[in-house]
Amino acid sequence: MRNGWIRGGAAWVGVGMIWGGVGETVAAVESPAAPAQSLILFIGDGVDDHQLTIARNYLFGNVAAADGFSFDRFDARAAAVVQTVSEQDGVTPVYVGDSASGGTAIAAGTVTSRGRIATTARTDRDVPTVLELAQAAGLRTGLVTTSSITDATPASFVAHIALRYCEGPGDMAGMRGGVRTGCPDDVSTAGGPGSIAEQIAASGVDVLLGGGTKPFSQPTASGETPLQAARAAGYSVVEDRAGLLGADAKRPLLGLFGPGTLPVEWAAQGGAQAEPVRVSATGEIVYPEAQTCVPNPDFGNRPTLEEMTRKAIELLGADGARFFLMVESASIDKQAHARQACGQIGETQALDRSVQAALDFAETHPETALLVASDHGHAAQIVPIPSMFAALPPMLGPQLPPGRVAVVKMPRGGVMGVSYGSNQGYAEEHTGTQTPVFGQGPGTESVRGLIRQADLFDVMRRALGLEVSPPQP
């Protein structure tokens, strides 16, 4: 507990605060008569309609829903408004979010500022997450990601800290780009909950799979690392594919398959990158050479996201237990930052295959609810190659897409132009667009029309029949 929430029994009780959104209290909702047995939430980090269309075009062609992603065929769908607020006053809207504010909105139903993990903007109060409520109600819980398990999205479901960069004990007094990135009020020796890795080690989450050996190996002031603390708490620790596939449900499982974000499944052949479109000395428009997507040789013998998802479902659902599981394909976002179209496409395919794993489970467990959502939009967009204005008179000047462009060879012929135009610096930016939501199974009927991103918390809470005590005066 810290700054406002006390966990007691099967509920969280608010102490003098409002939870759920900007200046509003979420009303208590009666649980459905027959709640879902389990709920699996998928988050495609950085996914918006453009990112989905880029991958769908490549993987399936320009097709209808019946021939595309597994989740294209879900019964329920909506668009989510991404809401973020200023850290300075906790109220003023900010129109582009990050994975921390987006993750917190989904996980805890609270609109917060960028960088915060399940805490309120300005006031720094902890807010309960759907995973914690599921734990309190006796459900098994799990987090699966292709990033470090301490990264912003998975952390938002299990940790409470002022800044996402405080991943390990050694990060608590950090600096990034000359700006303080530490969390002095959260240091365990100062009475705080500790770094994200320390909080995860003490969380009791049944299955934790992703990267993260680096933050888990940093010692605390006492000399103990979060990895040692996790083992002392009873976790079985695995670090490779064989260890994962051989794990059983007798002990909670912590799988760490790399120091941080895991290598992506696909890459551009020969390391090709997006480049600016240029004009030759003779005035001709020159596009970058078309690139071919191939399996990433650096992926190695790690488990795929699909394999991690299937194993997590197997362990959490053993003996017919109820469970909550969050699965994140993290590098759709990270590859968009790096202007790597092939990497984005491969990681979107990994998301789709993981959703299919959940659908396979739901076929024999129809009481399972499935949701696919996103934390924010991203920069990549499809542009015409060549420009539709290429035939304009020379006096109007060449018509060039801004930023850098990846020209991707398509399996069914032709090329697709993917333009990155949000930043001229080392990385592309997030964007402020709405994000897609897909739902199937009990409790997902309200996923329709235009909703708030933070409404997904209440969708999940209701679907599982979880209760949260309203704030106390």
Residues marked active site are found at 99
d(CA 361, CA 318): 12
CA dihedral (383, 388, 394, 396) positive or negative:
negative
Residue carrying structure tokens 């969708």: 459
Q: Which residue has the tokens 């309609």?
A: 49
DSSP 399: -
312-317 contact pairs (CB < 8 A, 24+): 312/142, 312/144, 312/207, 312/209, 313/40, 313/357, 313/358, 313/361, 315/142, 315/206, 315/207, 315/247, 315/248, 315/249, 315/253, 316/38, 316/140, 316/141, 316/142, 316/206, 316/207, 317/38, 317/361, 317/365
- The token pair at 357 is 């794993």
**Would you say 38 and 317 are in contact if contact means Cβ atoms under 8 Å apart?**
yes
Lookup result for tokens 């996923």: 447
- Are the C-beta atoms of 143 and 210 separated by less than 8 Å? yes
For 428, other C-beta atoms within 10 Å of its C-beta total 24
Which segments of 175-316 are extended strands (E)?
175-176, 179-180, 207-211, 236-238, 253-256, 266-268, 275-276, 278-279, 285-286, 293-295
Asked if residue 411 has a cis previous peptide bond (ω within 30° of 0), the answer is: no
Nearest to 339 by CA among 426, 425, 420, 431: 420
Structure token pair of residue 301? 């013998």
Q: What angle do CA 175, 178, 179 make, to 5 degrees?
A: 65
Biggest alpha carbon distance in the chain? 75
